[in-house]
Amino acid sequence: MVEDRRLPDYKIKDCIKEEAVPDYSLIDQPSILMYIFYPRKDSTPCPENTFDLSILVSDHVSIFCRFYMSHPQWPWVLFFHGNGEVVSDSDEIAPLYHQRKLNLVVADYRGYGKSDGVPTLTDLVQDAHKIFKGVREELFKRSFRKDLWIMGRSLGSISAIELAYRYPDAIEGIIIESGFPSVVRIMMHLGIPVRSTPLERIDQECLEMIGRIFMPTLIIHGESDTLVPLKEANDLYRHLGTDAKQMLVIPSANHNDIMFIGFQKYFDAIQQFIERTDKTESIEMFEN
């Protein structure tokens, strides 16, 4: 089932921080974006116990999310994928989360899968807010558990960090897999031509945001990642404001095989991190 409807502002607007975000418009140029986004229009019918939600993010532009629900009261992980992936890629991965008693909801970007528009970094950041609010509203509407953990893989770490910074009281914790503190560093590492664009300011603003994140954080990274070097994960860990942070390095893993090379450690870390930061479970244990 696919639903398309406008979303109200919703109550979490009271939680948002209002400081300025990095100005990605400086690098939202076609000659640069062609190296950052690799949209695919692939999509699949919904598997069993799954539904799609279309979230209107601007006039005539909707983003598709897919909810993989195994039990309505299990914790939910809102997942932002990498730059060459789409929502339907998670059809075979979601059951691995279900085995750990976790529900999964995966969001696309503009131009990916069944989503409208053309992707830019500015829209990626701004759309994350609408997606977050839309997902929370849908969980409430269906009487599912409303606690959310945010996970960002690679490019998706931008969305995850943005939401963690903006909604500190509405998110239980964040998980960054194969991510980075600033897209500027990845651009420089990959040699993307920027033609005198002032990147230092964007990089500094990203680091300042990360330094003001004080929620529990799990970082997972491949030891042999050549696309996003391990140094980026170390820098992200070092700049985080929170003391409640953990980093797992998967030996011999690269950018795109990390989940399979470190399968057991990868999912153990995610499950244990959510169990430790699950306030609902802690309250129930205390009451019993």
Spatial neighbors of 149 by CB under 8 A, at least 6 apart, are: 75, 76, 77, 78, 171, 172, 173, 174, 175, 274, 277
Closest CA to 76 of 60, 92, 98: 98
- Per-residue confidence in pLDDT tens, the chain, 288 aa: 444 333 344 445 445 555 557 899 989 999 999 999 999 999 999 999 999 999 999 999 999 999 999 999 999 999 999 999 999 999 999 999 999 999 999 999 999 999 999 999 999 999 999 999 999 999 999 999 999 999 999 999 999 999 999 999 999 999 999 999 999 999 999 999 887 677 899 999 999 999 999 999 999 999 999 999 999 999 999 999 999 999 999 999 999 999 999 999 999 999 999 999 998 764 443 344
Beta bridge partners of 79: 106, 151
Q: Where would I find the beta strands (DSSP E) of the chain?
A: 2-5, 50-58, 61-68, 76-80, 103-107, 148-153, 173-177, 217-222, 245-250
Closest CA to 105 of 75, 140, 142, 62: 75
The two structure tokens encoding residue 243: 């003391």
3-state SS assignment for residue 78: strand
- pLDDT of 251-270, one tens digit each? 999 999 999 999 999 999 99
Pairing type for strands 2-5 and 50-58 reads: parallel
Q: Residue 110: how many CB atoms within 10 A of its CB?
A: 20
Q: Residue 124: how many CB atoms within 10 A of its CB?
A: 23
Half-sphere exposure of 109 toward its Cβ, with a 13 Å CA cutoff? Answer: 27
**Residue 185 phi, psi (nearest 5):** -65, -35
CA 4 to the chain's CA centroid: 22
DSSP character for 102? Answer: -
3-state SS assignment for residue 66: strand
Superfamily of domain 38-287: Alpha/Beta hydrolase fold, catalytic domain (3.40.50.1820)
